Amino acid sequence: MSLVDKILRKVAQLPPFPVVVQRALQLVANPNSSAQDVVDVIQFDQSITADVLRLCNSAYFSLQRKVNSLREALVLIGFNQLFEIILSRQSSHLFSGPSTGYDLQRGELWRHSVASSLLSGIITKRLGRQPSPVLFTAALLHDIGKVVLSEFVKDYFEEIKKLVQEKSVSFSDAEKEVLGIDHAELGGRITEEWKFPKVIVSSVRYHHAPFSTSDPDETVRLTHLCDVVAMLSGIGGGSDGLFYHSPEEILNHYRLNEEDIERFMIQLEDQFGQVKELLNVT
Amino acid sequence: MKIIVSIADMKVTKNAEDTLITYSLGSCIGVVIYDPFAGVGGLLHFMLPDSKIDPQKAQKNPWMFADTGIPSLFKEAYKLGAEKERLEVRVMGGSQIMDGSGFFNIGKKNYMALRRIFRTNGVLIRAEDVGGSGNRTVTLEVSSGKVLVKSSGDEVREL
């Protein structure tokens, strides 16, 4: 069996993505569905509902009255925040283990994921766009491929490192050269397996090469930008460091400058402190 | 005791049993100062070059920026008995995305800001490990003054 086959077989061993959330994601990506449709799907899952209600009634939200149902939660905290909480809470266990190949302690990859997802909100706001649950999801899950690839990166680390340090190859290109597949492509396969909406699959797959896909959806480019700013800030940074490319066009494309990037980092630091407890981030 | 210095954070100590550590410096910079005579050590992890971008934030958290964080680090160390002439200063971090196209070069700007502040104040750097694209974890053992750096995937080395 080839190494790539071995890696792909490991995908099957990942814990399944909660079906209810999967279904909710498909609705979220569909412009014809409403927030109510999404809530109608989720409310049949008792453990998710109980978790959301417990959080809504916690000190974090300090709401004026007790929230007894998802419909009430929707009204009180709004769809975007409700969706973000559900997705984050249901994804954290996937990322929580150590990723030794990337030299990441337990919880570090999750920190990086949460930082990227927070940046999705910060950046869309600066660009004057509506908050996008689809972008939030892509940003949160962009490194899911690392969860599976980590053990292989560990076994072949010296070869990967050599390419990166001596030949100035980016970390993901080196993964591809040594292992036959990189963590972004693998993440694309995983999200495909989970039947995620196409745009999320492309955003995960091309998060290190945002201009090499013909997908016109901005989510791909924005996911890349969220990842880069999270990497710069150092939150959950591992052995792959900043050994990645970021095309110059990305800033021109959004008419952003360096100061904008600095402001994103300041806001990230603020928000990260606030959500720590809510999202099991240590 | 192991004392963790977070992002945009600073700690000083004169307890010989302490170890100051900061994880994963990306484009951020870690500044370690140590006075072997007074046994005082300090570690600053700043994120951005200039507080002018958000003065309010700097008031709340001076350690976020080079121009407010560095003076604060030195002042706090002086309070514990450190003296400027004796301070050993080491600088780590300031990494960049590979292209170095001038975009996303916050790491470089951080380093330039630090150099400017040190030059104005006559502070010399004893050793540094800056630039490139690696993430760095930095440790100061207060008992010995030893500074250890671990860069992306490399072994720990003394600086």
Instruction: Calculate how close chain A gets to B48, using CA atoms only, in Å.
Output: 7
Q: Are B135 and A258 in contact (CB < 8 Å)?
A: no
Shortest CB distance from A241 goes to which of B105, B109, B135?
A: B135
Q: Are A251 and B8 in contact (CB < 8 Å)?
A: no
Count of residues for chain B? Answer: 159
What's CA A193's distance to the chain center, in Å?
16
**Segment A17-29, tens digit of pLDDT:** 888 888 888 888 8
- Domain containing residue B144: 2-158
- Picking from A194, A86, A204, A219, the residue whose alpha carbon sits closest to that of residue A144 is A204
Instruction: Calculate how close chain B gets to A216, using CA atoms only, in Å.
Output: 23
For residues A74-91, average pLDDT: 89
Predicted local distance difference test score (pLDDT) of residue A274: 83
Q: What confidence tier does A65 reach under pLDDT thresholds 50, 70, 90? A: confident
Q: Is the pLDDT of residue A282 over 70?
A: no
Q: Are B8 and A269 in contact (CB < 8 Å)?
A: yes
Q: Are A266 and B53 in contact (CB < 8 Å)?
A: yes
For residues A96-119, average pLDDT: 92
**Segment A158-181, tens digit of pLDDT:** 999 999 999 989 999 999 999 999
What's CA A108's distance to the chain center, in Å?
13
DSSP string, B76-131: HHHHTT--GGG-EEEEEE----TT-SBTB-HHHHHHHHHHHHHHHHTPPPSEEEE-
Instruction: Calculate how close chain B gets to A257, using CA atoms only, in Å.
Output: 8
- ipTM for the whole complex: 0.93
Q: Is the pLDDT of residue A80 over 70?
A: yes
- Please name the amino acid found at residue B85: E
Number of structural domains (chain B) is 1
State the Cα–Cα distance between residues B96 and B133, nearest whole angstrom.
5
- A46 CB-near residues (< 8 Å, 6+ apart): none
Q: Are B109 and A239 in contact (CB < 8 Å)?
A: no
Q: Is the pLDDT of residue A185 over 90?
A: yes
Residues in A closer than 8 angstroms to B101, CB to CB, are 248
CATH number at residue B121: 3.30.1330.200
**Segment A219-250, tens digit of pLDDT:** 999 999 999 999 999 998 899 999 999 888 88
Superfamily of domain A96-282 in the CATH hierarchy: Hypothetical protein af1432 (1.10.3210.10)
Q: What percent of chain A has pLDDT over 90?
A: 56
Q: Where are the domains of chain A?
A: 13-94, 96-282
State the Cα–Cα distance between residues B39 and A132, nearest whole angstrom.
52
**Segment A38-56, tens digit of pLDDT:** 888 888 889 999 998 988 8
- Picking from A220, A242, A224, the residue whose alpha carbon sits closest to that of residue A233 is A242
Tell me which residues of chain B have a pLDDT lower than 70: 100-103
- Picking from A10, A278, A282, the residue whose alpha carbon sits closest to that of residue A144 is A10
Q: Which residues of A65-93 are buried (b: 16+ CB within 10 A; e: fewer)?
A: eebeebeebbeebebbbbbbbbbbbbbbe
Q: Are B105 and A258 in contact (CB < 8 Å)?
A: yes
